[in-house]
């Protein structure tokens, strides 16, 4: 690929990422959340209690980042943390009652974000979603 084509690809991906994050921030702010925090809440809602290590793996974030996010969400009353009964090094995280009550609004915001993300497409949304997944796989450092 030549540098002109590379610039077009990289500029388009960068613009998409920046606009997606800005749209997420706008939808999450009324819920008292920042981009990235919703991923942890949605993971806990979908799978139940998790260790912080499991949250890090599921979100693709480093453990120190998860620790900070979990602390902030716990301070906001959305999560509860407790020591693992089987592993002294692990911390179990689960949604609080307040966190569970936030889920319908969070899921609605998440759906709205997806709708906005795909709204500019004139073609097949399922194919576009599949292509985005393929692109992400191509960037996976483990691949």
Helix (H, G, I), strand (E, B) or coil at 85: coil
Q: Which residue has the higher pLDDT, 81 or 122?
A: 81
By the 10 Å C-beta count (0-12 exposed, 13-18 middle, 19+ buried), 102 is classed as buried
pLDDT at 143: 56
Q: Flag whether pLDDT at 86 surpasses 60.
A: yes
Could you report the per-residue pLDDT of 126-140, keeping only the tens digit for each?
888 888 888 888 887
Q: Which residue has the higher pLDDT, 70 or 143?
A: 70
- From residue 30, alpha-carbon distances to 12, 22, 33, 125, 132 in Å are 28, 14, 7, 28, 28
Between β-strands 50-51 and 91-95, what pairing exists: parallel, antiparallel or unpaired? Answer: antiparallel
pLDDT at 124: 85
């Amino acid at each position: 690929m030549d540098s002109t084509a590379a610039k077009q690809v990289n500029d388009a991906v960068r613009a998409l990422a920046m606009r997606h994050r800005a749209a997420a921030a706008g939808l999450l702010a009324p819920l008292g959340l920042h981009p990235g925090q919703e991923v942890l809440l949605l993971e806990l809602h979908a799978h139940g209690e998790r260790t912080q290590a499991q949250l890090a793996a599921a979100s693709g974030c480093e453990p120190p980042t998860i620790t900070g996010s979990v602390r902030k969400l716990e301070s906001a009353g959305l999560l509860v943390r407790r020591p693992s009964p089987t592993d002294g090094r692990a911390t179990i995280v689960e949604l609080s009652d307040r966190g569970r009550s936030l889920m319908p609004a969070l899921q609605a915001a998440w759906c709205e974000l997806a709708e906005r993300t795909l709204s500019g497409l004139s073609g097949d949304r399922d194919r576009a979603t599949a292509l985005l997944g393929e692109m992400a796989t191509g960037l996976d450092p483990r691949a």
